[in-house]
Amino acid sequence: MKKFITFLIIILIIIFAALIFFDYFFPEETVSSRPLQTRAGPATTVRITPVSLDTIERSVILHGEILARNQVTIFPPVGGRLTETRFRIGDRVYRGNRVATIDPSRPGEVFSAAPVVSTVSGTVLSAPFSIGDTVTTQSGIYVIGDLSELIVEAFVPERFSVSLVQGMRAVLWFEAIPGERFNAEVDEISPVLDPVSRTLRIRLKLLDNDPRIRAGMFSTLSLVTNRKENIPVIQRTSVISTYGSWIVFVVDENNIARRRVVTLGLESEDYIEILNGVDLGENVVSAGQNFLTDGDIVRIVGEN
């Protein structure tokens, strides 16, 4: 019996030594010699866009009215009945011209007619009263303006007011002049906000002198409130919001999608500034990223 046990122990020692020998001298001869498997499923079709340097402008769309820069309302010196008007809308008026006459007489009283004199030179823009109307010293008989220089008056919402500075550029267009754009720049900024509308009044100087633009016209303008040049940008469609973070997918040289958390900066309608998370020149997925997870194989069908 002892001989059998001794023989069995010897056999086990030989087997154990053989295993150590093969593991030491043949380390690559393992059962895991099958090729590594990639993530299951077919490749996801995507479009990529490289991170590039560009200029981003943030703008706000406003509505404005064309006004004459020097626009003055002429008030009568006394109240009474309007007996004479000497000018009509569009007429040229010079400073010191008599533009109207007021009869301040009341029933049973006779007073001399009081002349209304223009305090400025310009063109009659408005004449809201007719002969026979009763006016007061607060009634604007005429509105006279200098049409040689037109301005745009607009009102900016409070949230954009802190970004306003003189010289900001704007592009405006008119329904009456379809398909054309005109340039303007901020010339005047009101120091206070309107307490009712919570807006800030601005006036812009027209940089394009076009005779088709007239006082009283209604315009739409795009005002640039912030601008950055030569910064790394990607398309807005590339960014995904997830759990309070912003992520993008970058495609490497092996067509593998890699998830990156990024920090965003200034935004425009089409592009967004990248502060960190991706490097200049890397290929970011701009279409198809909503179907990706980290490590997926992708098939690129186009590059912007």
Structural tokens at position 47: 């479009």
How many other CB atoms are found less than 10 A from the CB of residue 87? 19
Beta pairing, strands 71-74 & 122-126: unpaired
Query: How confident is the model at residue 37, as a pLDDT?
Result: 39
Query: How confident is the model at residue 304, as a pLDDT?
Result: 59
Overall fold of domain 71-145:
OB fold (Dihydrolipoamide Acetyltransferase, E2P) (2.40.50)
Q: Write the class of the CATH domain 44-55+230-303.
A: mainly beta
How many other CB atoms are found less than 10 A from the CB of residue 102? 25
CA-CA distance, 284 to 265, in Å (whole number)? 17
Per-residue pLDDT of the chain (304 residues; tens, 9 = 90+): 556 566 667 776 777 666 665 555 544 443 333 333 345 557 888 888 899 898 888 788 999 999 888 889 999 999 999 999 999 998 999 999 999 999 998 877 888 899 999 999 999 988 999 999 999 999 999 999 888 888 999 999 998 888 888 988 899 999 999 999 999 999 999 999 998 999 999 999 998 888 899 888 999 999 988 788 889 998 888 999 888 889 999 999 888 999 999 999 888 778 899 999 998 989 999 888 888 888 888 888 866 5
Structural tokens at position 63: 């509505």
Query: How confident is the model at residue 184, as a pLDDT?
Result: 93
Query: How confident is the model at residue 19, as a pLDDT?
Result: 60
How many other CB atoms are found less than 10 A from the CB of residue 287? 16
Query: How confident is the model at residue 41, as a pLDDT?
Result: 59
Query: Closest by alpha carbon to 182, among 148, 229, 150, 226?
Result: 150
Residues in the chain: 304
Overall fold of domain 59-67+147-228:
Elongation Factor Tu (Ef-tu); domain 3 (2.40.30)
| Per-domain residue ranges of the chain | 44-55+230-303, 59-67+147-228, 71-145
Query: How confident is the model at residue 108, as a pLDDT?
Result: 77
pTM higher than 0.75: no
